[in-house]
Every structure is written in structure tokens, then in C-alpha cells.
Structure 1
Amino acid sequence: MRKIKKIHKAISAPMGDLVTYRALPTNTVEYIDPFLFLNHHGPQVYKPNNQGLPFGPHPHRGFETLTFILEGDITHQDTGGGKDVIEAGGVQWMTAGSGLIHAEVSSEKFKKEGGPLEILQLWFNLPAKYKMVKPAYVGLQKDKIPVVTEDEGKVKVNVISGSWGETKGPIPSLSDIHMASVELQEAGSFTTTVAAERNVFFYVVRGSVKVNGEKVEKLHLVEFSNEGEEIKVEAQEESYILFGHARPFNEPVVAHGPFVMNTEQEIQEAFRDYQLGKMGSWEE
């Protein structure tokens, strides 16, 4: 079995009236190469006539984002041409690459009517050879994400990138990152294997599970060692987890605000290029 190195609790990091827990980075874990950052927004209920999500236009370069919309919605727009509204159960995958400006806000309908909201955003690093790749965006509604069932239907695996058994995810990953979200009914279980040299990403969004015999509550991130390959998950109650794995890049990571590069000089260049308009100009 894959050995567990440590279990990390997400920290409270509210953004105005938006309930937010940050699982990466915290004071106990910086990143799990190439998984850099995870913000967990909600769960909470917005009243009618609200302001919605606060993520107006801002730049990015050098990494990718994967956003899970569990409840509520997100209106996405970017200077690379991406624009849509993704609803509950859907995902968004954005490759910032050489740089773009984007906004992630709530739809006019959500702002008017309100309702429950829970959204998670995960950042993946890009290796040096892909840092300046052309930006790209894919938005998928729930019905476009393949589902694999395990344990007589008690486990549903939503396959996003890479593969789960014979099922391939619909989003191609430049860096062979495998990502899924897993919904488990109480007492549901699954077992999978991940090659020892690959790093595992495992975050419990809701509920409580046992992972290789250790109990892990919601809002906790599991850091595995690179010993062993088998991972067994058993739900103690109805649960929802994010699960992924990737080969580590083992490259220097220099992050500053919205940019993630390999050197300080590249960060300075990113700020300069943004100021010069090389990441596009924002139009409402």
C-alpha cells in the first residue's frame, strides 16, 4: 500500500463574504509537485441580489487551473477567447501558458436569485518547456464528463483528464496529469494503484473516508510518500474527494501573485509583459 506521509488541514482564508479554505499552500505543506494550490470556496448560501464571486479580470502565466463547480455556477471570460457559463457538476480547465487575463464571476441569474455555492480551484504547474505555450480553455458541463461506477454503484468517478481504467478523460493534459472527482455513498469503497514515482493529489471535500486504514475528514489533504502503489478508500459517510496523480517535474518553482515561473527574472518579465498589454486587453 502507498504510505501516507502526513494529513494536512485546510486553513480558513475568507475573501470578503466568500467562505474559503486553502489546502495548498499552508504552513505545513508548500506544494505537491506539480500540484501547487487549492482553494475551496463555500459551502455557503447566497441571498438574492448578491454580488457573486469576486474574481474580476486578473492575469496568469506559467501554469494551469482546474475549477470544480459543485454548486452554483461560474461565468468565465478570458483574452484568449474563452467565454461561457459552467453550472453545478461541471469543470473548467484553463492553460494560462504564455499569459492571459481572465475573470471568473457568478452569472447574472445567480446574482439575482442567489442559492448554494461550492467551488474548488486547483492549480497545476507547467514544466519549463510548456511555460510559454499558447493559452487554452475548456469548459465542460456535467453531462460531458464520463462517469465510472465502482462497488455496485456506491462509487462514482468523474473522469476529467488522464484515464480511470479503460475510460479516458475528455480534457487532454500537456503533462500527463490524471484528475478525477469521486463521489462515494456511505460504506462505498474503491481500490486503485498509482505508480510509486508519481505524486498523488488527494483532498476530501465532503464527508469522511478511510485511506489505507487512516481516517481523513473533510477539509483535509493527504500527502503520500513515494513508497507503495495501492490506495484503498472507504467512505465512513457520504463523501466527495478530489483525486489525481502526476509525475513530478522536479524544477524550481518561483511564484509571485498570479504568475508561476522557474526564475525571478521570468516573474519580472511576466509583470512587464502584462503591463505592456502582451496578455491581451480586457473588454467587458
Structure 2
Amino acid sequence: MRADALTARTVQDVFPAIRDDIADLHTWRALPTEHVWMVDPFLFLNHHGRQVYPRNNRGLPFGPHPHRGFETVTFILEGDIAHRDSGGHESVIGAGGVQWMTAGSGLIHSETSSDVFKKNGGPMEILQLWVNLPARLKMTQPAYRGLQQEDIPQIADAGGALVHLVSGEWNGHRGPFTPLLDIVSMWFTLSAGQQFSLSIASQRAVFFYVIHGSVVVNGRTVDARHLATFADDGEQLHISASADAVILLCHAEPLDEPVVSHGPFVMNTHDEIRQAIADYQAGKFDG
């Protein structure tokens, strides 16, 4: 079917991210909030920064903590992240890079700033997205992969968008990450007046968050630090930038399964949550 014959998806609503600072880290939480709990299978998004750290700073405050039952995807727009986990993975990923971690059956990790960043300071902006795993994959083997900016394809669209393709297929290109689920994830930039269109099957859930700027998507304005939700009544998204904009866009099939969460654990039942806590306290996440 030709793109011009596709039906535009209806924008159901637009919700603001909620200011929720963590220590001295400026944080806006786009999901979950009192307005929207999840966009199945997307569970959580924290937008940290943009802020400028001084010299001799303490860096990011995320010391060792556990996860089970989902995946974390971290987009480093500015600054860096020093990652370590109980599976033996360790890296420092800089601006423009991405980390994809499968917590699966259980992993303890820390996300701090590199010694260089803590010494020199500088701008920092990071987004972390949590993606749920289905019951059949909750206890999968933990895994981690971090890629630098040069490993993430940057594709110029005819309408002027610059697409950073992280996973899945778009316009004949494939992202470097291969998630456990069929997830298309990207962030892209538009200058004021530029446009970008793409087709997404109507049964797939769309995660659409404006990081900077302002856009009109299918006739609805979405400003910076706002999340748009969509009906499943069409396949086409048409985006035009009212001001220079950066957008995070992901889509996937909904899992349509029960979700029970408790802090860093996301499972299907309360018993599984209790088991996760017991396993963590018994040291079973320690590799």
C-alpha cells in the first residue's frame, strides 16, 4: 500500500513529564505518571538533564541496584555513563551512544559517571527506557551491550530528519541492537520547518516522546518533555517541526499480560515479586 493511501493514527492525548529530581540530578519522568501508567510493552522513561555539571562533581547517583524481568535502554545524548554489572560487563559509553541491558532473571548494576567527567564536568543529558519482557522471557539469561555513537547508524531522511536507528528496521536500514522482542527504536532530529513521515502497523504500540523543541504530529502539537499516546486506528505518522526538535520514537507489539511491579522488579504476579526479593536478598543476582 502506498504511504499516501495509509490512514493517519489519531493522537489520543499528550501528557507532560513530571519533575522528579534524584539527588542533584534534574529528572523528568514521562512514564509512569498519574496520567498514563504504561504504553505496553514500554514501562518507564526517565529524562535526566539537560544540565551542566561543574568540575570535580559527584556524577550520576545510580550506585549498585538490582533488576529482574525487563530490559533497560539508555540513550546518552550528552555526557557519559560508566556501567558495571554482576554479569561481568563493564564499559564507559559517551555522548551519542546507547546501552541495552537485559536484566532477565536478575542483575545488579551501577550507572555512574566516568572519572574524566567527574573531574572535568560538562553537559549531561540521558534518557532511560524500560521495556517489559513477556512471561516466557522473564527469567532469561542477563545480557548487556553498549555501543558508542559511531556504531549507531545516522540516516538522513528526504524530509530533513537525521535518524539515529538503534534497533529494528526502518527504510531499508537495520539498527545494531537485536532485542529479545521486535522493537524498533530511534531518536531523530528535525530543524524548524522540516517534516518526517513513517508507517507503523496499526496493532503496534507507539512510544513518542519529545525531548527538545516542538512538533505537530498528525495535527496535534507536542512540546518538549511531553509524551503522546496514539489510537490503533491507522498506520501513518506525519511529523512537522515547529521549532528545532529531538524526538524519541519506539514501537512494538503489546504483550497484553499482567504487570506487577515493585521498585526494580517487574513480573506477572505478586508471588514472582516476592521470589525476586528473596532471590536478591539471598545473593542470587551476584553472578
How does the TM-score come out when normalised to structure 1? 0.97
Is residue 50 from structure 1 mapped to residue 54 from structure 2 by the alignment? Answer: no
Match of 2:139 among 132, 140, 145: 132
Structure 2 unaligned regions, length at least 5: 1-7
**Distance between the aligned counterparts of 2:149 and 2:193, measured in 1?**
25
**Distance between the aligned counterparts of 1:121 and 1:88, measured in 2?**
14
**Distance between the aligned counterparts of 1:115 and 1:179, measured in 2?**
27
Retained in 2: the 8 A contact 1:151–1:188?
no
Match of 2:185 among 174, 179, 193: 179
Match of 2:227 among 201, 221, 224: 221
**Distance between the aligned counterparts of 1:149 and 1:276, measured in 2?**
50
Retained in 2: the 8 A contact 1:65–1:121?
yes
Match of 1:25 among 32, 37, 46: 32
Number of the residue aligned with 1:64: 71
Match of 2:263 among 257, 266, 277: 257
What amino acid is aligned across from residue 136 of structure 1 in structure 2?
Answer: A
Q: Deviations over 1:28-64 (max 9, x none)?
A: 0000000000000001111101100000000000000
Number of the residue aligned with 1:95: 102
Number of the residue aligned with 2:166: 160
Number of the residue aligned with 1:197: 203
What amino acid is aligned across from residue 129 of structure 1 in structure 2?
Answer: R
C-alpha deviation, 1:2, in angstroms: 0.4
**Distance between the aligned counterparts of 2:134 and 2:169, measured in 1?**
21
Match of 1:242 among 220, 245, 248: 248
C-alpha deviation, 1:237, in angstroms: 1.4
**Distance between the aligned counterparts of 1:123 and 1:174, measured in 2?**
13
What amino acid is aligned across from residue 148 of structure 1 in structure 2?
Answer: I
Question: What SS does structure 1 have at the residue aligned with 2:189?
Answer: strand
**Distance between the aligned counterparts of 1:279 and 1:161, measured in 2?**
27
Is residue 9 from structure 1 mapped to residue 7 from structure 2 by the alignment? Answer: no
C-alpha deviation, 1:151, in angstroms: 2.7
C-alpha deviation, 1:148, in angstroms: 1.6
What amino acid is aligned across from residue 68 of structure 2 in structure 1?
Answer: R
What amino acid is aligned across from residue 233 of structure 2 in structure 1?
Answer: E
**Distance between the aligned counterparts of 2:194 and 2:82, measured in 1?**
34
Retained in 2: the 8 A contact 1:72–1:115?
yes
What amino acid is aligned across from residue 48 of structure 1 in structure 2?
Answer: R
Match of 1:86 among 93, 96, 100: 93
Question: What SS does structure 2 have at the residue aligned with 1:268?
Answer: helix
Q: Deviations over 1:222-243 (max 9, x none)?
A: 0001111100011111110000
Structure 1 unaligned regions, length at least 5: none
Question: What SS does structure 2 have at the residue aligned with 1:151?
Answer: coil
What amino acid is aligned across from residue 250 of structure 1 in structure 2?
Answer: D
Question: What SS does structure 2 have at the residue aligned with 1:48?
Answer: coil
Match of 1:275 among 264, 275, 281: 281
**Distance between the aligned counterparts of 1:231 and 1:250, measured in 2?**
23
Question: What SS does structure 1 have at the residue aligned with 2:278?
Answer: helix
C-alpha deviation, 1:185, in angstroms: 1.5
Match of 1:74 among 57, 74, 81: 81
Q: What percent identity do the matched residue pairs reach? A: 55
**Distance between the aligned counterparts of 2:22 and 2:85, measured in 1?**
22
Total equivalences in the alignment: 280
**Distance between the aligned counterparts of 2:87 and 2:241, measured in 1?**
41
Deviant stretches of 4+, over 2 Å: none
Is residue 207 from structure 1 mapped to residue 213 from structure 2 by the alignment? Answer: yes
C-alpha deviation, 1:186, in angstroms: 1.7
Question: What SS does structure 1 have at the residue aligned with 2:243?
Answer: coil
How does the TM-score come out when normalised to structure 2? 0.96
Match of 1:120 among 104, 116, 127: 127
**Distance between the aligned counterparts of 1:172 and 1:185, measured in 2?**
30
Question: What SS does structure 2 have at the residue aligned with 1:278?
Answer: coil
Q: Deviations over 1:104-145 (max 9, x none)?
A: 000001111111110000000000010000001010100000
